[in-house]
A and B are shown apart, each in its own frame.
Chain A
Amino acid sequence: MNIFNIVIAGVGGQGVLMASKVLAESALACGMDVKQNEVHGMAQRGGSVISFVRIGEQVFSPVVMPGTADILISFEPLEALRYIHYLKPGGMLVYNKVAINPSTVASGLATYPGDVEQQITKACGNARGIEALSIAKKAGNAKAVNMVMVGSVMKNLPIDPLVVEGVVKSLSRDKGIDVNLKALSGGAAAA
């Protein structure tokens, strides 16, 4: 039973759920069984968000266990560190280098770790940071960070990148199609 486990982490409002949907729909379009799961509700409102996508011949649980993720995609460096233990040995991490202050830091109750990227590199030998925000802005919309992040791992998935592109097209609206496809290829080029 060979299951490919993806964990997507970020901050409420960053589009983690949409990125998860793209990956899940793509897996389905490739004829694989897939389960996708995140917890929403109070996780919105700027809180930490984690989402799981599991792909394989037959997937049972929708939950990825710590220590079993093939890929961790994090939309924010601190959230990468928070969920880095989900990676299996040798697992790959791609993270957006743009930090977002948690409310605890914004209100002066905690400090954002200045060495967050060093800590990430120390904890994961296969980590890459990308400037997802500027790539998204270049594609035409700062909100396309999620598509940049999907693009950044596209060639490491058991899914044909062309299928991912097709799914992004089908899930985007009008002007969004062009922006999202640019963001996707921008992310792929950056990784």
Chain B
Amino acid sequence: MKKIISGNEAIALSFGDSGGVFASGYPGTPSTETLEEVARLGEVYCEWAPNEKVALESAIGASIAGGRTMATMKHVGVNVAADALMTLTYTGVNAGLILMVADDPGMHSSQNEQDSRNYAKFAKVPMLDPSDSQEAYDFVRAGFELSEQFDTPVMLRTTTRISHAKGCVEPQEKIAPQIGEWVKNVPKYVMLPNFGKIQHVAVEARLLKLQEFAETTPLNRVEMGDTDLGILTSGISYQHVKEAYPDASILKLGLAHPLPEKMIREFAGRVKRFMIVEEMDAIFEEQVRAMGIRVDIGKDRISYCGEVNADIIRIAAGDAAAVVSKAPVENLPQRPPTFCPGCAHRGVFSILSKLKVFVSGDIGCYTLGALPPMNAMHTTICMGASISAAHGMAKVNEISGRTEKPVAVIGDSTFFHSGITGLLSMSYNNGSALVIIMDNRTTGMTGGQENPGSGSILQGESARQVDMVALVKVLGIDNVVEINSYNLAETEAAIRKGLETPGPYVLVDKNPCILRYRVKKPVLSVNPDKCSGCSACLKAACVALGLTSTGDKPKVAIDPNICNGCGVCAQLCKFDAMSAA
């Protein structure tokens, strides 16, 4: 029966329908719902790994043990898993292995806009690039077949508008999982240089075979139409091309790597103007030009940055936009994401903002502490970088005679992902920074996924919960203090002590994520007779607060529909104007 599901849900469904046995991943927008859906469907074993490298390595093990397997992650996660990937391509697989990677052109929820097609080329592995939910479903099965036929890992790449867009899907007949033999094969799986040399030759031969396969596979297709304009495209760009030019000739690639050279040459020869439409990098165009095929319209007319749409394509091809819309209304107040009312991060950031320290930040909800009015985060690079970067800053400060101690802020999931090694380095190398671990027991920004500190697994069942304080101590950190970030005075005192004490100093806030754990405290209200309108509380950056313009002068009011009763605003008020409603 037809269903309307997202690309991520389609991949999850097909994983179960196509004989999948083991899936692992790390949450990251826009990939997260894939593994959540595998868990919800409940047919196949799946788990959250602490990071993407662990996820892919576990998937490699599953494949070697004979089970069809998938690792899921966002584009930047592949950077973490790349060490495994670059040698996995040499070993090949036993049972089929899919690395599902979700790119985020337009950076809706990412720190960069890297194009994962580069990795397929880099690792010399086939990459499938679905253009809607149905193809996302179909390409999982095709991916397993390809993986086993060519003894190769297969990358299944989506973008935000594939992962999160919903479309109609007709599922295929279900295949029961078949677990293959678990065989010791040293030359295949032990990548000592001698074996690696042999495997590299095999990888190059495999790539040539895959190129031949690309010429005939139905994954790639020509839709011959008007020959004035012929467009080579793949993935979501195909939909935008159809929207812009429903009658044009199209060479649609389902296999984004390797390219079918003969097919492209023939197609380009049949059309008057040959255009390539691809989001982000010029992966196709560079290869097509290297084949000596002329490209009339390409990256010279379509930006490397952001998403493509129908009008961008029309304008690039020399036509006018299909619709001229009114300009957006200007000068509206922006509505950026912000700490939830009641969020435990608010207290810590209002203090860091007040103390004006240098904050080395990380990836998570707490990155929002960089925004006004907090302005209390000064670097955010990648998962785990807060602690290691703070360590580097502290070393240069020490060398230059600066006395200010940097502060690293990191969440629990990010700490488990790759913050632990940074803290180990700080401990080992006699560093000196204040590290605040916001241990809210969930992977918050991606929607509240379980992690080794949650006390539960992906399916919600209880699990061993890592003891954060003990973990920090065992890394060699003597000064570890638990704080309660809802008590501003105590938290400020703890932060000041941590800044004054030489050496590594770690504070752990164990207040849970209010959204994930549905924490709701009694709502506060403002006594207008006591409120002076000084706006000190507004520094809490809470959307429950607002100035009312009724009366002689503006006063603060609390929206009872939004307030979560955390009490941070009450502690910022010098006039004791807030109390339980």
Write the A1-19 contact mask toward B (1 if CB under 8 angstroms, else 0): 1000000000110000000
* A123 interface residue per 8 A CB criterion: yes
- A33 contacts which chain B residues (CB < 8 A)? 168
Instruction: Name A13's closest neighbour in chain B (CB-CB).
Output: B340
Q: How far is the CB of B363 from chain A (nearest CB, A)?
A: 11
- Determine if B164 and A105 form an interchain contact, defined as CB atoms under 8 angstroms apart: no
- Determine if A39 and B160 form an interchain contact, defined as CB atoms under 8 angstroms apart: yes
- Determine if B324 and A65 form an interchain contact, defined as CB atoms under 8 angstroms apart: no
Q: How far is the CB of A62 from chain B (nearest CB, A)?
A: 4
- Determine if A112 and B333 form an interchain contact, defined as CB atoms under 8 angstroms apart: yes
Q: How far is the CB of B47 from chain A (nearest CB, A)?
A: 22
Write the A67-83 contact mask toward B (1 if CB under 8 angstroms, else 0): 11000000000110110
Instruction: Name A59's closest neighbour in chain B (CB-CB).
Output: B167
**Beta-carbon contacts under 8 Å, B532-553 to A:** 535, 538-547, 549
A-B contact pairs, 23 of them (CB 8 A): A33-B168, A34-B167, A41-B29, A42-B108, A45-B338, A47-B335, A62-B165, A62-B167, A65-B325, A85-B325, A85-B328, A85-B329, A100-B559, A101-B545, A103-B543, A104-B336, A106-B544, A107-B541, A107-B545, A108-B373, A108-B538, A113-B333, A123-B329
Of B239-247, B268-276, B400-408, B475-483, the one touching chain A: B239-247
**Beta-carbon contacts under 8 Å, B331-378 to A:** 332-340, 365, 368, 371-373
- A66 contacts which chain B residues (CB < 8 A)? 323, 325-326, 328
- A100 contacts which chain B residues (CB < 8 A)? 543, 559, 562
* B172 interface residue per 8 A CB criterion: no
Instruction: Name A68's closest neighbour in chain B (CB-CB).
Output: B323
A100 to B545 Cα, complex, angstroms: 10
Among A35, A88, A103, A133, the residue within 8 A (CB) of B336 is A103
Write the A33-54 contact mask toward B (1 if CB under 8 angstroms, else 0): 1111111111111111000000
- A85 contacts which chain B residues (CB < 8 A)? 325-329
Write the B95-131 contact mask toward A (1 if CB under 8 angstroms, else 0): 0000000000000110000000000000000000000
- Determine if A67 and B332 form an interchain contact, defined as CB atoms under 8 angstroms apart: no
Q: How far is the CB of A70 from chain B (nearest CB, A)?
A: 13
* B196 interface residue per 8 A CB criterion: no
Instruction: Name A124's closest neighbour in chain B (CB-CB).
Output: B326
Known contacts A37-B166, A84-B329, A107-B541: A79-B109 contact under CB 8 Å: no
Give me the interface of A with B, judged by CB distance under 8 Å: 1, 11-12, 21, 24-25, 28, 33-48, 59-63, 65-68, 78-79, 81-82, 84-86, 88, 100-114, 119, 123, 133, 142
* B92 interface residue per 8 A CB criterion: no
A60 to B168 Cα, complex, angstroms: 11
- A21 contacts which chain B residues (CB < 8 A)? 166
Among B243, B338, B372, B445, the residue within 8 A (CB) of A41 is B445
Instruction: Name A52's closest neighbour in chain B (CB-CB).
Output: B165
* B311 interface residue per 8 A CB criterion: yes
Known contacts A66-B325, A67-B325: A40-B333 contact under CB 8 Å: no
Among B165, B324, B337, the residue within 8 A (CB) of A47 is B337
- Determine if B329 and A82 form an interchain contact, defined as CB atoms under 8 angstroms apart: yes
- Determine if A44 and B337 form an interchain contact, defined as CB atoms under 8 angstroms apart: yes
- Determine if A60 and B243 form an interchain contact, defined as CB atoms under 8 angstroms apart: yes
Which of B447, B538, B540, B546 has most A Cβ within 10 Å? B546
Q: How far is the CB of B120 from chain A (nearest CB, A)?
A: 24
Among A41, A65, A79, the residue within 8 A (CB) of B311 is A65
Q: How far is the CB of B248 from chain A (nearest CB, A)?
A: 13
Q: How far is the CB of A76 from chain B (nearest CB, A)?
A: 9
* B310 interface residue per 8 A CB criterion: yes
- A108 contacts which chain B residues (CB < 8 A)? 373, 535, 538, 547
* B4 interface residue per 8 A CB criterion: yes
- Determine if B161 and A37 form an interchain contact, defined as CB atoms under 8 angstroms apart: yes
A88 to B327 Cα, complex, angstroms: 12
Among A65, A67, A105, A107, the residue within 8 A (CB) of B326 is A67
- Determine if A104 and B337 form an interchain contact, defined as CB atoms under 8 angstroms apart: no
Known contacts A41-B108, A42-B109, A102-B335: A28-B329 contact under CB 8 Å: no
A82 to B330 Cα, complex, angstroms: 8
Write the B230-259 contact mask toward A (1 if CB under 8 angstroms, else 0): 000000100110110010000000000000
Write the B23-39 contact mask toward A (1 if CB under 8 angstroms, else 0): 00000011000000000
Q: Sort A-B residue pairs by CB-CB distance and give the 8 closest, nearest first.
A: A67-B325, A41-B109, A41-B29, A47-B337, A62-B165, A102-B335, A110-B333, A103-B338
A35 to B4 Cα, complex, angstroms: 8
A67 to B240 Cα, complex, angstroms: 16
Among B309, B545, B546, the residue within 8 A (CB) of A61 is B309
- Determine if B323 and A65 form an interchain contact, defined as CB atoms under 8 angstroms apart: yes
- A119 contacts which chain B residues (CB < 8 A)? 329
A46 to B329 Cα, complex, angstroms: 21
Known contacts A105-B546, A142-B561: A45-B365 contact under CB 8 Å: yes
A111 to B546 Cα, complex, angstroms: 10
- Determine if A45 and B4 form an interchain contact, defined as CB atoms under 8 angstroms apart: no
- Determine if A78 and B335 form an interchain contact, defined as CB atoms under 8 angstroms apart: yes
- Determine if B337 and A110 form an interchain contact, defined as CB atoms under 8 angstroms apart: no
- Determine if B165 and A35 form an interchain contact, defined as CB atoms under 8 angstroms apart: yes
- Determine if A28 and B4 form an interchain contact, defined as CB atoms under 8 angstroms apart: yes
- B2 contacts which chain A residues (CB < 8 A)? 28
* B303 interface residue per 8 A CB criterion: no
Among A36, A47, A110, the residue within 8 A (CB) of B166 is A36
- Determine if A24 and B166 form an interchain contact, defined as CB atoms under 8 angstroms apart: yes
Write the B444-471 contact mask toward A (1 if CB under 8 angstroms, else 0): 0111000000000000000000000000
Among B132, B161, B332, the residue within 8 A (CB) of A81 is B332
- B328 contacts which chain A residues (CB < 8 A)? 66, 82, 85
- Determine if A102 and B337 form an interchain contact, defined as CB atoms under 8 angstroms apart: no
* B322 interface residue per 8 A CB criterion: yes
**Beta-carbon contacts under 8 Å, B159-196 to A:** 160-161, 164-168
Among A41, A43, A45, A60, the residue within 8 A (CB) of B242 is A60
17 further A-B pairs in the complex, CB-CB below 8 A; given A102-B335, A123-B326: A24-B166, A33-B168, A34-B166, A36-B167, A40-B164, A44-B337, A44-B447, A45-B339, A45-B445, A60-B239, A61-B310, A65-B309, A66-B326, A67-B324, A68-B323, A102-B333, A104-B372
